[in-house]
Structure 1
Amino acid sequence: MYLGPHDLLVGRPLVPITVGGHHLLLVRDGERIVAAERACPHEGADLGLGRCVAGRLLCPRHLASFDLRDGSVSPGWSFRALRLFEIESASDGLWLRM
């Protein structure tokens, strides 16, 4: 699914987006762009209100954090990992692989 142009995240580390009925969050982590489910698996907080620090996405409600490489939650939390989705950068923009 097409997400938008390459400059979609310029100056914005977190971009909430809805694609095909899925509420996602695009996250820029250095040069990488990752797509994640937008609701925290714990209590559904909007992760778009969180922040990205050192390769981890922080939940704004409870400060649990998720590794942007595999979605795993920080130690001390007992809920499932955050779902991550592959982003492909093509000549015409960013594409989501689901």
Structure 2
Amino acid sequence: MSFIKVAKTSDVSENRMTCVNTRHGRIALTRIGDELFAFENTCTHDDGSLDGGEIQGETVSCPRHGALFNIRTGAVERMPATEPIEVFEVRVSGEDIEIKID
């Protein structure tokens, strides 16, 4: 397990998604207050991109069919998705955002 640099803190805005490509796939980043979140940018229902969806509280909605996921835990909060999304531990090193990859 290791941390990889994915963005700068200035790249991520409150309640908006910033997507980055990594060797582990596309990762979405967002900020809620002082906390940063990172999660896979793919809906488990139909493999659509989540980055066109909305961040509301600690959830992200899929823009295609309305599935809702908790961005802290990855848990499904509304169908049609039945499988959780992967979430990543985030740390900040100076101005760099890093995520933990297994």
What range describes the TM-score normalised by the shorter chain of this pair? 0.7 to 0.9
Percent sequence identity over matched residues?
20
Instruction: Between 17-26 and 49-58, report the one with greater CA deviation.
Output: 17-26
Moved >6 Å (runs of 4+): none
1:62 aligns with 2:42: no
**CA-atom RMSD, angstroms?**
1.8
Choose between structure 1 and 2: higher helix proportion: 1
The residue aligned with 2:42 is 39
Q: 1:60 to 1:83 in 2, by over 3 A?
A: same
Alignment coverage as a number of residue pairs: 98
1:5 aligns with 2:11: no
Q: 1:53 to 1:11 in 2, by over 3 A?
A: closer
Q: 1:45 to 1:8 in 2, by over 3 A?
A: same
TM-score (norm 2): 0.84
Q: Which runs of 5+ in 2 are unaligned?
A: none
1:96 alignment partner, one of 78, 93, 99: 99
TM-score (norm 1): 0.87
Q: Which runs of 5+ in 1 are unaligned?
A: none
How many Å separate the matches in 2 of 1:47 and 1:10? 16
Q: Could you tell me how far 1:2 is from its partner in structure 2?
A: 0.9
The answer on whether the counterparts of 1:29 and 1:52 sit within 8 Å (CA) in structure 2 is no
